Amino acid sequence: MPASQPRIAICGFSIECNRFAPVATRAHFGYFAGDEIAAEARLPAPRMLGEIPGFVADMDAVGAWEPVGIAFAAAEPNGPVDHQFFAELMTDIESRLTAALPVDAVYICEHGAGITTADDDPDGVLFETVRRIVGPDVPVVATLDLHANISDRMVSTIDCFIGYRTNPHMDMRERGIEAAQTIRELLAGTKTERAYVRLPIVPPTVTMLTAAGPYADMIDFGQTKIGPSAKTGDKPEIMNVSVMGGFAFSDTAKNGLTVVVTARRNRRNQSAAQTVAREIAQFGWDNRERFIPRLTPLNDAIAKAKAASGDPSLPAVCFADVADNPGGGGRGNTMHLLKALHEAKVKNALVGIIYDPALAAEAHRYGLHYQFDAQFNRDETTEFSEQWSAPARVVGLTDGDCVGRRGIYAGMSLKMGPCAALQIGGITVVVVSHRRQCADPVFFEMLGLDIAKARIVVVKSRGHFRGGFDEFFAHEQIVEVDLPGLTSPMLHNFKWSRLPRPVIPLDDGVEWTPPS
């Protein structure tokens, strides 16, 4: 039996890595160690996503426990992680967890789509290390982003695998709470079995929304497998179903839509997890054609923008620059759409948020109302982020300290660094100093800009903007534009080195037979 006041270790490594983006270093990470983890989680606006705060709040609400903070490193999506930094994190986790023994359980808060400059499965390394240190009998539960790419050891070394079920991600806190509930059940004696089935489908991010579409249907179908047993009225046999879409741009051998099922052991049917994982995978396979993306070509997008700009009786339009999504490792600074809108002389448009610290600093030096030639990307140019300049006027300035208002960042303290609003023809462009995806209306509002009055709003985000901007734009008003960029969902645009092949949507004649 567990102690009356269980000691529960908390650790994790949380980043989604795009192999085509520049290397992420220690400087990109928020790093919390020891007692800082629970202390930060208990703040009203913590500097972390909702899983650990949800976990800690639920444990606090239920009874006495002792959080044993180990180490937690989290970053915005970026390129591969500098392996030296990952090795240092692992050393820190190993030494702190070893020193903390005995613990009654471990909660791992992980993204699951990490790669380093030397390892394609750092998440698996972390899970395996935790298991080795605590031994086979201590419950280990992990929460993961549904963009996680799944390895065998990420499933086999833990007791319960809990993936997000919403995209845009809205259920981080709920999943943290689920982890707390699960750990309590495991401490009371429940044992589990896990199974996973991977499909040869690497879904482009835009086909992985959970409000509607093939991925939503697959998740919903999976959830129907959880329910109290009709025969016994007992706890359901299936504890958790996680349908993990994965993150294509990690470009690893473990990519592919993967169903992970955790079942309660000691039931009549020993292979419940395997059976259910296979059924859900079959459902996904039957819907495989629907995972091929359809985006709007730039010319059609510009025609729509001109129409909306000129005719106030038409609905306003939200253009998503899904190919330059900082939430997927994009730099947040490509000019294709801004340039085309400017050339088309559209009016009453908002564009955000462009990552360009040099330009934001320059605007702050000049001050409000100053007119100058705004030069974008003078410091950072990549294959996709070309330089561009245009006459501009400074119409807004802020230090960029804000609290997220809606969607993925709601309630989270955000530091965007010096930010400026620049009027460029009929377009107001928000320039920021810290790279982040435009998932929250606050990034416009902090500069006094009124989203409801704009005819055209451009967001550099793939899907999370939907959770933030849904109060302004219905599904039909959103246009995903086909542009070049590091996070283009048109997967043929990239040179893949490690994805399993053949795979949908890259290859023809892909076949799959369910595992027996």
Give the footprint of Zn ion on this chain (CB under 5 A). Answer: 145, 147
Q: Pick from 371, 361, 416: which is nearest to 394 by CA?
A: 371
**DSSP type of residue 155:** H
CB of 76 vs Zn ion, minimal distance in Å: 11
CB of 261 vs Zn ion, minimal distance in Å: 20
Q: Give the residue with the Cβ less far from Zn ion, 56 or 144.
A: 144
Q: Give the residue with the Cβ less far from Zn ion, 208 or 432.
A: 208
Residue nearest to Zn ion (CB): 147
What b/e sequence results for 106-141 when a residue is b if at least 16 CB atoms lie within 10 Å of its CB, and e otherwise? bbbbbbbbbbbeebbbbbbbbbbbbbebbeeebbbb
Q: Pick from 244, 251, 326: which is nearest to 78 by CA?
A: 326
CB of 214 vs Zn ion, minimal distance in Å: 17
Q: Where are the alpha helices (DSSP H) in 22-159?
A: 36-41, 51-62, 83-100, 122-134, 152-156
CA distance 486 to 380: 14
For residue 98, count other CB atoms closer than 10 A to its CB: 11
CB of 408 vs Zn ion, minimal distance in Å: 9
Continuous segment of H or E residues that includes residue 298 = helix 298-310
Q: Give the residue with the Cβ less far from Zn ion, 145 or 174.
A: 145
CA distance 401 to 419: 9
What b/e sequence results for 412-441 when a residue is b if at least 16 CB atoms lie within 10 Å of its CB, and e otherwise? bebebbbbbbbbbbbbbbbbbbbbbbbbbb
DSSP-derived pairing of the beta strands 238-244 and 388-398: unpaired
CB of 440 vs Zn ion, minimal distance in Å: 16
Q: Give the residue with the Cβ less far from Zn ion, 73 or 430.
A: 73
Are 187 and 150 in contact by the 8 Å Cβ rule? The answer is no
CB of 145 vs Zn ion, minimal distance in Å: 4
Q: Give the residue with the Cβ less far from Zn ion, 147 or 331.
A: 147
Q: Give the residue with the Cβ less far from Zn ion, 305 or 414.
A: 414
Q: Give the residue with the Cβ less far from Zn ion, 28 or 147.
A: 147
CB of 122 vs Zn ion, minimal distance in Å: 17
